[in-house]
Amino acid sequence: MYWQADCECMNRSDLEMVQLERLQSTLTRVARNVPLYSRRFAELGLDPDQIRSLDDVRRLPFTTKADVRDNYPYGLFAVPLREVVRLQASSGTTGKPTVVGYTKGDVRRWSELVARVLTAGGVTKDDVVQIALNYGLFTGGFGFHYGAERIGASVIPSSSGNTRRQIMIMQDYRATALICTPSYALHLADALAEMGVGRNDLTLRVGLFGAEPWSEPMRREIEERLGIQATDNYGISEVMGPGIAGECLERRGLHINEDHFLAEIVDPESGEPAAPGETGELVLTTLTKEAFPVVRYRTGDLTRLIDEPCPCGRTFRRMARIPGRADDMLIIRGVNVFPSQVEAILLESGLAGPHYQIVLDREDRMDKATVLVEAPESFCTDRISESQGVIESLRRKLEELGVSFDVRLVEPRTLERPEGKAKRVLDRRTL
């Protein structure tokens, strides 16, 4: 089943023709409408008219999350704000989120692309789709919502959290498709087991999971316990959100919607193109975005491209499931957090010197985040109420990152410092 067979199954030479046309007009637009790009192109003596093949894209400069942050909130928009009908955001590295905008046309294309991913994952208009992803600034909830409506499915915007209510909805509304993070799917499975609800008591058929890395054993467990076929999908808010790539039911890699995104794999260190099939950092260029086009955006996600044709008939290349990050970004309950953000808050509090550690565990299938802080010697631990107050205010500040951290004080010089270098993150989560 395809959503747009004429696009998803087009032959590669037609696809490359369409990609080049769209790349060229995107570059003409960004050079004209986005100061960052016109300035960078000028600095490099680069005329976008010189980009005459898809390989020429390598001559263009990268765009990074820092660029998006430095141009907060609207600096990278390519259209006036009055043409923007939607704003979404994701966490940034300094507490400021990165803001992305969509025109009416962008929202329509976004819906179509998510509809493709949903269709590839087995969702049809006859499904009752429970979307247990956060509805808000995060692109996941609304992205999937519009795509599922576009298909004509019955959509339940159950949003995130409140597991008992989710389960009640799942049973009573007879949900047939589940969309959430993979860890939440397992959390739901545990809660179902606790309540004595078996997989045969559920009407679920398929599930689409993303927003955080997950493994094949996790997939098998989700499929087994919920009685569904589970597919992986990929999105990143700076590029669009969900709808960039998704698995078909072959479940052997995620088809990239290449008629709308140009994908490259580069060496994360040198930025040079990786050899074909080699793992490196995924770099994406939007080909049809109007409000927030990005050129060679460094996603920070590690993957490789799969050139072999897929038995499903789609001609779009696949990317391997994301094994990790090129940078130190953490994904905690689907929320992106950089250790530097935590550090900035700790330093601001005046409580912590450079000695802290972020510990990530998985409890009840859900991520649990703790910050261990070496109390400075000056800190008077006798006055318990005062220290409690400090911890509490720190916890509240950290909450602004979108994740609840547990804060614990430890004795000075007790945190590990292998080879003199502090180990900032201890990730004990197993996939």
17 versus 168: smaller Cβ distance to another protein: 17
> By the 8 A CB rule, do 129 and 123 touch?
yes
Position among 105, 136, 157, 271 found at the interface with another protein (CB under 8 A): 105
In the bound state with another protein, the residue whose beta carbon lies nearer, of 23 and 206, is 23
Cβ closest to another protein, residue 11 vs residue 270: 11
Give the tokens for residue 176: 């047939």
Check residue 321 and report its DSSP letter.
P
SS3 for 57?
helix
Closest approach of another protein to the CB of residue 286, in Å: 13
24 binds another protein (CB under 8 A): yes
Q: Does 25 bind another protein (CB under 8 A)?
A: yes
Alpha carbon distance 286, 295 (integer Å): 7
Please, what is the angle between helix 384-399 and helix 339-349, to 10°? 140
Contact 363/370 with Cβ under 8 angstroms?
A: no
Binding status of residue 270 toward another protein by CB under 8 A: no
Note whether 12 binds another protein by CB under 8 A. no
Does 11 engage in binding with another protein (CB under 8 A)?
yes
* DSSP string of 381-425, one letter each residue: TT-HHHHHHHHHHHHHHHHTTTSPEEEEEE-TT-S--GGGS---E
28 binds another protein (CB under 8 A): yes
200 binds another protein (CB under 8 A): no
Q: Which of 111, 183, 288, 299 binds another protein (CB under 8 A)?
A: 288
Residue 411 touching another protein (CB under 8 A): no
Q: Give 18 or 137: the residue with its C-beta nearer to another protein.
A: 18
User: For residues 406, 407, 410 and 415, what is the CA-based torsion angle, rounded to 10 degrees?
Assistant: 70
Tell me which stretch binds another protein (CB under 8 A): 7-15, 324-332, 380-388, 404-412. 7-15
- 83 part of the interface to another protein, by CB under 8 A: yes
Query: Is residue 21 a contact point for another protein (CB under 8 A)?
Result: yes
Least separation, in Å, of the C-beta of 80 and another protein?
9
Count of residues of this chain found to bind another protein when the rule CB under 8 A is applied? 24
Q: Does residue 388 belong to the site contacting another protein (CB under 8 A)?
A: no
Per the document, the length of the chain is 431
Task: Establish whether the linkage from the previous residue to 73 is cis, with ω within 30° of 0.
Answer: yes
103 lies in the site for another protein, by CB under 8 A:
yes
| Closer by beta carbon to another protein, 79 or else 398 | 79
Q: If binding is defined by CB under 8 A, does position 341 make contact with another protein?
A: no
- Please write down the long-range contacts of 279-283, taking CB distance under 8 Å and 24 or more positions apart: 279/303, 279/304, 279/320, 279/323, 280/304, 280/326, 281/326, 282/319, 283/62
Cβ neighbours for 70, distance < 8 A, ≥ 6 positions apart = none
Contacts with another protein by CB under 8 A lie at 11, 13-14, 17-18, 20-22, 24-25, 28-29, 32, 49, 51-52, 79, 83, 103-105, 108, 288, 290
